[in-house]
Amino acid sequence: MNEVIKSKRSTVRTVLFDLDGTLLDSWPDIYYSLICIIEKFFPDMTTEHLNSIKYLNLTSPESIIRKAIKLESDEVLPEEILLFGKTMYSQIMGRHENPYNGIENLIHLLDRNNIRWGIVTNRSKHFAGLSISKFNIFKTIKCLVCSDDVLRPKPESDSLLLAAKILEVSAEDCIFVGDMDTDIIAGMAAGMKTIAIKHGYGFYNYNSTQDSADFIVNDLIELNSLFCSLMDIMYDV
């Protein structure tokens, strides 16, 4: 491992993160919102299938709700249900979702060493902004790029390249951290170094794409240690 780290040691001073499944476990709030939809519109429907949805890499409210209420691809999602779902999620958001363990030390490490960091997510700006605003640990974020900021969100590289442009840094000087295969695909396409993290949702649907990342870590605590090694940071957390 030491030789691998040495061979990939970097002067990277910018880190970009995926949000859901990487920094934030947002599924509990989504889950309770879906429960509300089913209770109101489909009282006879069981809910055992809901927990499997978090592993499907569905990012838009429409796609998540469609899967939750078992709509076929040719069926139209009623606007009333979509609006109700968005309203419930806005009301519930922040009650159950939480940053993953280790995020405080990780962000403090980056901030204390003047390493700029941002978030690139396939969530909409509205919902991503609401989540981030609820947690003080995100107050030093330098960049937030969402699905509605680009024509082609992840797995395309557009949102990552936009983040690099906003931060006025070349893509080659960025690290991107994510849990999904789409994160690794996007990071590689952008020419960034990539780190796959296992504690999120992506590794439940594991495929060889995650193996293509420059590094794989189990959680944010291990990521913190990796950053210390990669960036020659001597910092006792």
Quick: pLDDT tens for 138-185: 999 999 999 999 999 999 999 999 999 999 999 999 999 999 999 999
Per-residue pLDDT reduced to its tens digit, 76-133: 999 999 999 999 998 998 889 999 999 999 999 999 999 999 999 999 999 999 999 9
Q: Are 51 and 81 in contact (CB under 8 A)?
A: no
Contacts of 19 (CB under 8 A, 6+ apart): 26, 119, 121, 123, 128, 131, 132
**Cis-peptide into 155, omega within 30 deg:** yes
Structure token digits, residue 93: 């958001």
Buried-state track 160-194, b at ≥16 Cβ within 10 A, e below 16: bbbbbeebebebebbbbbbbbbbbbbbbbbbebbb
**Contact status, residue 218 vs residue 199, Cβ threshold 8 Å:** yes
